[in-house]
Amino acid sequence: MKYMKMAAIAMMAFALFSCNNKNNEPKNEVAQLSVRINDAELRAIMDPAQAGAETAITKDVVLTLDNGQQITLNADEITKAKSPDGYKKAVTEVVKTVSLVANGKIEANTNITTLQGKAIATEIALTAPATAVTTTVENGVTTYSVELSPVPAVARLEVAGKIVGKPNANGKNAFQDISVEHVYVNNYLSTIAGTRYMCVTNGKDDFAATPALQNEMNDAISGDNKAAFEAMTKVAGYYLFPKLESENPSAPDYFDHVILKIKITYSEEALAANPALAQMTDRYVTIARFMKDATGDLDGGFLAGVIYKLNLDELSKDFNTTPEGTPDPNNPDTPDPEPTANKQLVVKVKPYAWTAQNIKPDVNGGYKK
């Protein structure tokens, strides 16, 4: 009887061990991971953006599995991953999700200034979030398949064009010329997880405020660049991080700002009507709010993977002339950047999914004045 009890206990232990071991083992002795990278939706940009050119995933491609394992692809493996058959690799663990970074990685402390001037075709980081795999079994081989569609980690804003003052109903025009001398970006995220950077906040004293102006986030428009800028064959272009998930738009600041330093040449008729205009030639236009088609449709900020084009001709309709032939006091120009009053103009932009999107100020609260 004693031996029978011992035998029964041994049989139960063996059965329990077999059951547990079976649950822990892979269903098949051979398993592989199959990854295909779909970059058909990515677009490259030049200066200005050229619609339709493909972004090349050329280097620093790292796959991350749900268990934390990382797989770095070499050039041949990247080519295979972009082919219809995809890249295949033997694995010993069950795979549930795969994510990807390529062309480098945006860290929490990566400063947006370090990305300015980089070629989006090869130097701007691309990411694909953790994506669930599809599991199939054929001829004793388990295959975990996934297709990843990387997208850029930043938005692109391009500013160019010419502002032309509008005559009144009697044909009088207070403006002989309006020239953009400098473009600044303000109130932008320094890092993808950081706080917003305002190089001027008090609406006076030019850019004398703290923190200091960042050279990478502004451009002088002068010399040979001026004609190209006005013809939109050259642009002031900037990469921008999308807003934080915790951020909500609120007037008057919203999110990323464009500040234009302009030089106004007034008409002789305007100067005769108001001689004080001779001391009001250096002006600023601060655009804090943008739209695509209707007021409010871009209040959520610029989206990663989209190029936004601001054609400065969109501002022309807002530089109006009074019946007396002087500048309309409701025009968006001010003596200092980032004025503290609550008046704004919303500027319309045109967005593209990594091609291009024109934008412009929205007259309904877009300018800070």
**Minimal CA–CA distance to 241: which of 152, 369, 350, 328?**
152
**Nearest partner of 306 among 124, 92, 164, judged by Cα:** 124
Positive or negative: CA dihedral 62, 67, 69, 73? negative
Contact 46, 309 (CB under 8 A): no
Domain count, the chain: 2
**Per-residue pLDDT at 358:** 56
Decide if 6 is inside a domain: no
Asked if the structure places residue 189 within a domain, the reply is yes
Q: In whole angstroms, what is the distance from residue 175 CA to residue 266 CA?
A: 5
Residue 324 sits in the same domain as residue 195: yes
| pLDDT tens, residue order, the chain (369 aa) | 444 444 444 444 434 444 444 444 444 457 887 777 776 545 333 356 554 434 566 678 899 999 999 999 998 988 888 888 889 999 888 999 999 888 888 889 999 999 998 877 678 888 888 999 999 998 889 999 998 888 888 999 999 999 999 999 999 999 999 999 999 999 999 999 888 888 777 666 666 656 778 889 999 998 888 999 999 989 999 999 999 989 999 888 899 999 999 999 999 999 999 999 999 999 999 999 999 988 999 999 999 888 899 999 999 999 999 999 999 999 999 998 888 765 555 666 656 555 444 555 666 777 777
Class of residue 255 by CB neighbours under 10 A (exposed 0-12, middle 13-18, buried 19+): buried
* pLDDT in the model for residue 329: 94
Answer yes or no: do 183 and 287 share one domain.
yes
Residues 180 and 319 reside in one and the same domain: yes
Q: Considering 134, 152, 170, which residue would you say is the last residue of a domain?
A: 152
- Estimate to the nearest angstrom the gap between the alpha carbon of 218 and the chain centroid: 17
**Is the same domain home to 109 and 209?**
no
- The answer to whether residues 218 and 200 belong to one domain is yes
What is the C-alpha separation between 147 and 162, in angstroms, rounded?
A: 44
Q: Write down the pLDDT at residue 170.
A: 93
What is the pLDDT, as a whole number, of residue 55?
52
Specify if 214 maps to a domain: yes
pLDDT of residue 179: 97
Q: Is 296 contained in some domain?
A: yes
Whole-angstrom distance, CA of residue 201 vs CA of residue 288? 12
- Residue ending a domain, among 128, 152, 176, is 152
Residue 112 in any domain: the answer is yes
Q: Is residue 312 part of a domain?
A: yes
Q: Does residue 11 sit within a domain? A: no
Q: Domain check: are 224 and 346 in the same one?
A: yes
In a domain, 7, yes or no: no
User: Helix, strand or coil for residue 228?
Assistant: helix
Residues 355 and 217 in one domain: yes
Q: Are residues 353 and 333 in the same domain?
A: yes
φ/ψ region of 38 (left if φ > 0, alpha if ψ in -120 to 50, else beta) reads beta
pLDDT of amino acid 30:
78
- Which pLDDT does position 274 carry in this prediction? 96
pLDDT of residue 123: 80
* pLDDT given for residue 23 in this prediction: 47
Residues 249 and 331 placed together within one structural domain of the fold: yes
110 in the same domain as 131: yes
CA dihedral (247, 248, 250, 253) in degrees, to 10, reads 30
Domain identity same for 179 and 114: no
DSSP H or E segment with residue 11: helix 2-24
| Same domain assignment for residues 104 and 144 | yes
Q: Which residues are CB-contacts of 69 (< 8 A; sequence separation ≥ 6)?
A: 93
pTM metric for this prediction: 0.78
Name the residue range of residue 273's domain.
155-361
d(CA 250, CA 84): 46
Domain boundary pick from 118, 152, 186: 152
Q: What is the CATH number of the domain that holds 224?
A: 2.60.40
